[in-house]
Amino acid sequence: MFIALIAMGLFALSINKHQYQTLLQTPTRQTGVLASALVLALLWQIQAGILPQLSIHILGITAVTLTLGWHMGLLCSTLATLLSYFLGPMPIDNLWTFWLFTALLPVYLSYGLFLLCYHFLSRHFFVYIFVCAFLCGGLVAASKIIISALYYLSIGLYDWPVLVDNYIFYAVIMWFPEAMLNGMAITLLITYRPHWVKTFYDRDYLDK
């Protein structure tokens, strides 16, 4: 129940009247959010893992957050969580932890890292691609695994050696494919459809 309250609280922070009014009034934006949610849900179905709840899969959250912004990124990842629940065999007891660790926290981490990059690094086209999308995407994926592992350790579901050998170890392996996917997705978007990417500001990254 504690996890459910945290998850609902984090999602409630994203509810913005202006953002949702714009979404309801813009069919193309609705299509973008729903299409992104479907892509995430399908990505999350491709997973591996030996022990229950210790599944490994591509997140794709960083690219979605950079494209939609954190408000719509949280809505999109929430819709993807619901789709994942109906598409795959997910016990209802796991829904809250999945929503928190796979959807909500990665969005906050992705946007927080973007803000750090935006304020403290040079606002350059290649910085946006290689740091905000590539490196931050990999870091978010690794952080998700580590945070989840610490939670499972705290509730006594698994002990530390089991988590290290069967879960945390994969943070080292998964960061690169996650970074590649997010980096490639953002590269294609800002090359061919830069107006779709909410956090890519032409005046900062192109008008030099």
The pLDDT assigned to 203 comes to 79
Task: Output the pTM of the full model.
Answer: 0.93
Query: What digits encode the pLDDT tens for the residues 24-34?
Result: 998 999 999 99
The pLDDT assigned to 87 comes to 83
The pLDDT assigned to 208 comes to 54
Distance from C-alpha of 177 to C-alpha of 182, rounded to nearest angstrom: 9
> Which stretches does DSSP call E strand in 24-183?
47-48, 56-57
The pLDDT assigned to 163 comes to 92
Query: Bridge partners of 56?
Result: 48
**Mean pLDDT value of segment 2-6:** 88
Greatest extent of the chain over all pairs of C-alpha atoms, in Å = 53
Query: What digits encode the pLDDT tens for the residues 103-157?
Result: 999 999 999 999 999 999 988 888 999 999 999 999 999 999 999 999 999 998 8
Query: What digits encode the pLDDT tens for the residues 54-105?
Result: 888 999 999 999 999 999 999 999 999 999 888 877 767 788 999 999 999 9
Q: Characterize 130-155 residue by residue with b for buried, 16 or more Cβ atoms within 10 angstroms of its Cβ, and e for exposed.
A: bbbbbbbbbbbbbbbbeebbeebbee
Distance from C-alpha of 75 to C-alpha of 55, rounded to nearest angstrom: 23
Q: Please, what are the domains in the chain?
A: 27-46+57-202 (1.10.1760)
> What does the block give as tokens for 154?
């705290």
The pLDDT assigned to 207 comes to 62
Query: What digits encode the pLDDT tens for the residues 166-206?
Result: 899 888 888 999 999 999 999 999 989 988 999 998 777 76
The pLDDT assigned to 119 comes to 93
